[in-house]
Structure 1
């Protein structure tokens, strides 16, 4: 659990056009609440408040994963090295149910988030956006390598069709290798999907917004959604 003597906890409930924040101070009535526009002006005003309260390195922020609405703020937090955590909505729901909280408004949601992160260890607060970028790049590089190898093997296979100088045994081994590459690529994609879902709780929200889009297709367009340079 955090040592709250010098740490400021902030819960953020974010929507498409605005976000509500709670500067945590224990019970609901003693916390400070504000609402800002979900744009650069809102981020600037939010940071003005944060700087007036504590040093940025002593602030911990919790955001609930809601589609990709939180991405611009998350990126802004990364840019200013403010430690934060992206909360899985299911985990937050179970916590609210456990605490027997009944009402639900934007203001209350920001309090629930702040209250939830008050029980977390300090090393829980990391830049999940940066981590997601690194994971995606790593897996994507593996997939690119497999695809490139597949292309070369297919070219080799095609050249062997009418080539009597290559033994049937070697032809069979090359075909088996190509099948193994296809299975390897499938396994890498499956592992990437599992990792993405863990590090990006909002993934399921994004997929539900894009009705009919398969995981493979969504993984392919993640760079466009998250501006990941690959």
Structure 2
């Protein structure tokens, strides 16, 4: 007599279907805890060599798997995609957990799958620990990326302090000085003492790093914010969002690199003698492009209420140059102009002036 237990495992409960020689004799639901598993165990003990089959559903099925291993019960743990493929000839329109359990039991009754090899406890523990290690590594990378984004908001210049802004010493410094104001409010001698306490940093290097850290703190976004707010139409909220997305403008060598970072640089297609300029690359940050697009609209609105800006003039010129020119195309072209303006103002540490921009396009073009 061949008895098969088909089990459909979900988050809180499992549906069990029992088949004897290919005929269903019972089905019921159990909770995914010791009470439910012991209920299942009572039925399993009444059968000689029961065959158990269920799908691997991540953390949910692992509890059932561990319980079966603990009681030395053999089972078939199916890959969900493989189970779906093997039951494709018996597709049912109404998908329910109860029917899924029945189809698993039916599949094992008619087309027996090989029982899983139960490894020793040591190997199972190694696998479990490796999964934990993999998850911890993933979480570490995720948290480092989040921290990097946070630093772009508070103290992006600190990334220029060390050659390797990812090592243990770097993160220790970031933890101690997450904001430029903290650096400027700390005595230089105390900064040096802290740096000397880090691995591999001696007296001379600590002095050099302290001086550099103080210089970087003085270049912090506070001045960048003031510069951006000097552009007509860009208020504090938009200025902060631009800084958070672009980071430290000084790390770029020219405006073209800044365009590429944002993803508004044009794509170029070359084949033989044909060269075509396509749409923008969109390689950079979509949120950054959205913020800059918003800034162009605000600059346009500011001009209408008496706050002129050469970027608004440029936008209107692009619109007039072609009756078919869309707002989007003119706005993208104006974003180029805005980025070149931002680059020039910040790298030259000067506030925006409409007269200078209008009469000195060489600087702000």
TM-score, length basis structure 2: 0.32
The structure whose Rg is larger is 2
